[in-house]
Amino acid sequence: MTVNDILRTDGFVDGRWVAADRRFPVVNPATGDVLAEVADADEDLAARAVQAAANAFPAWKAMTGKARSAVLRRWNDLILDATDDLARLMTLEQGKPLAESAGEVKYGASFIEWFAEEAKRVYGDVVPPHADGRRIVVLKEPVGVVGAVTPWNFPIAMITRKAGAALAAGCTFVVKPAEDTPLCGLALAELAQRAGLPPGVFNVVPTSTPAPVGKVLTTHPLVRKFTFTGSTAVGKTLLAQCASTVKKVSMELGGNAPFIVFDDADLDAAVQGAIASKYRNAGQTCVCANRMLVQSSVYESFVDRLAAEVERFKVGNGLDDGVTIGPLIHRKAADDVEALVKDAVASGARARVGGGRSDLGPTYFEPTVLTDVAPTMRVFSTEIFGPVAPVFAFDDEQEAIAMANNTPYGLAAYFYARDVGRVWRVMEGLEFGMVAVNDGLLSTEVAPFGGMKESGLGREGSRHGIEDYIEIKYGLFGGL
């Protein structure tokens, strides 16, 4: 298999590849080269995809969980077989280093595998009745057509994490992938078709104008569930649109993750955790460590060790050997990161490592460590989405928890400590949906992924992930 074997540039609706009157370019962020011209879907094509999904729903719902599981397992196997080519395609359109792309392909496939198994385990209940002559049952049924909008930073995993659960539950699916990275979503559709997913069950509508297509998915009466991963600002708009038809909704929104290092931490382990959490995908993940909070007594030692590691990074094209930091997704992303760093430095922060644009091109930014930062600076309250680690100091446990929680977001948090009492106090005190203790990576298909506060609604992955795609029906039998 080669990249060309899975490269598709038309929309995928009702089991067929569908061209469009307009096309839009997909650009390699590392070089600026145009990779492909992709069909530019409009509202009409999005509505056709929704209708196709609605038409396919009764038959897909009627299949046994075991039968749906078999199809999903074939899809999983095909994704894994195509790991090298999917990884190369991802690096070309998204920019992350090739090894990270391969890791994402396997991570993305893990959700198809997991939910293939869960398809057979959507259990209902028999409830003890409240009166003589009656019986109560609780059935679990698929919600119906699912509309999804997914981001560019994980162009495979953010689709499979949603589609795996939806399809396993018996729902049908329409996804609008990010305009910067539609090729991975279309490649998934090609592999889904080969796996035997029936026409209309999985549909992909790429577009360069996401708002109109997104509005179809959030307002169409045939769409019964909407799921979104992206910024909080956009999520609020989409959530308001979903209210028009009272859709079931899942939202995985922005984050501002604290990474706390206490004075009893293993500093070498904490530095490695910080590297894994902060600099993966050049800092472009929603669960990235956004604020390094380090206890004053170990602040300098931690910074010295972190800076030494960051100085070893190799920046470059993700296809090149040894590259650990690739480009940001586009020039504007690099402009935004540069503005945050300049604001911090102007307010008194110091760039211990990096601090500016790389000379490799307009989308590259140097991996950076900022010291002497304060909570009044924008880097404390803004999701950075770049390879920049601002390191703040705190004095005691209460201050660390207060600083960490001083944000409207509540997606992920990390901390390093060895005292058992402190571990429990801090974990319970942090207002975040996911907390990693002495580890810098927390994403896995077996655990519930999601946030509190303005970071979202619902959970993805784990046995809880399928629940967002299910309706509960109560049945009362009388006259017995």
- Beta pairing class for 223-229 and 289-295: unpaired
User: For 229-234, which contacts have Cβ atoms below 8 Å and span 24 or more sequence positions?
Assistant: 229/149, 229/150, 229/151, 229/158, 229/162, 229/253, 229/286, 230/149, 230/150, 230/151, 232/408, 232/409, 232/454, 232/455
User: Active-site residue 37, yes or no?
Assistant: no
72 pLDDT above the threshold of 70: yes
- For the chain, give the percent of residues with pLDDT over 90: 99
189 pLDDT above the threshold of 90: yes
User: Active-site residue 454, yes or no?
Assistant: no
What local confidence, expressed as pLDDT, does residue 2 receive? 79
User: For 476-479, which contacts have Cβ atoms below 8 Å and span 24 or more sequence positions?
Assistant: 476/134, 476/135, 476/136, 477/134, 477/135, 477/136, 477/137, 478/133, 478/134, 479/133
pLDDT 10s digits, 379-388 = 999 999 999 9
Catalytic residue among 171, 184, 242, 286: 286
pLDDT 10s digits, 198-213 = 999 999 999 999 999 9
What are the tokens at 425?
């106090």
Q: 3-253+461-476 and 257-441: same fold?
A: no
**Residues with Cβ < 8 Å from 446, sequence gap 6 or more?**
114, 461, 462
1 pLDDT above the threshold of 70: no
Q: Which amino acid type is present at position 30?
A: A
For the question of whether the overall pTM of this predicted structure is more than 0.95, the answer is yes
> What distance in Å separates the CA atoms of residue 102 and residue 90, rounded to the nearest whole number?
9
pLDDT 10s digits, 352-365 = 999 999 999 999 99
- Write out 100-144 in H/E/C secondary structure: HHHHHHHHHHHHHHHHHHHCCCCCCEEECCCCCCCEEEEEEEECC
Q: How confident is the model at residue 3 (pLDDT cuts 50, 70, 90)?
A: confident
| Integer CA distances (angstroms), 405 to 273, 432, 457, 458, in order | 20, 8, 18, 20
331 pLDDT above the threshold of 90: yes
Sequence spans of domains, the chain:
3-253+461-476, 257-441
Overall average pLDDT of the 454-479 stretch: 96
**Residue 423, number of CB atoms within 10 A of its CB:** 17
366 pLDDT above the threshold of 70: yes
Q: What is the CATH number of domain 3-253+461-476?
A: 3.40.605.10
Contact between 118 and 168 (Cβ < 8 Å): yes
Contact between 264 and 276 (Cβ < 8 Å): no
Q: How confident is the model at residue 118 (pLDDT cuts 50, 70, 90)?
A: very high
> What distance in Å separates the CA atoms of residue 277 and residue 164, rounded to the nearest whole number?
25
Overall average pLDDT of the 280-299 stretch: 97
Total residues belonging to the chain: 480
Looking at domain 257-441, which of 3.40.309.10, 3.40.50.300, 3.40.50.360, 3.30.530.50 is its CATH number? 3.40.309.10
> What distance in Å separates the CA atoms of residue 364 and residue 281, rounded to the nearest whole number?
12
Q: How confident is the model at residue 115 (pLDDT cuts 50, 70, 90)?
A: very high
How distant is the alpha carbon of residue 430 from its chain centre?
21
Residue of 205, 202, 200, 208 whose CA lies nearest to 217: 205
Catalytic residue among 113, 252, 366, 397: 252
